[in-house]
Structure 1
Amino acid sequence: MTHERMIRDLEVLRLYARENGLPALAEHLDQAVLLAMTEIANRREEAGAQGPRH
């Protein structure tokens, strides 16, 4: 599973929660999306800081 797919799946679950009267779950899923995006960005920055691997 790619990072982008995981984020899309979390967003689909968040939408489902909102549309089905689960606001607390929707809020947690919103936070999960933000956390996932942050961690993915941090991993990319760390990989860039390490430079190319030979």
Structure 2
Amino acid sequence: MSRWSGPFVIKEVFPHGAVELLDPGGGNQSFKVNGQRLKPYKGGELVRHKAAFLLHDPP
């Protein structure tokens, strides 16, 4: 499995653009990457919240 597969948690962002990532499923394993190479994770299930808004005409 690639180190770049799956969602990661951002542990620390450094001023020079590097980002330290933490693998939530791999214990305390973390590694630094170039922050410009990061992309939003779009795999797996997303938790979606639903809300209902009732609109009424003013009296």
Identify the TM-score tier after normalising by the shorter chain: under 0.3
- TM-score normalized by structure 2? 0.25
Higher relative helix content: 1
Higher alpha-carbon Rg: 2
| Bigger RCO of structures 1 and 2 (CA < 8 A, at least 6 apart) | 1
Higher relative strand content: 2
- TM-score normalized by structure 1? 0.26
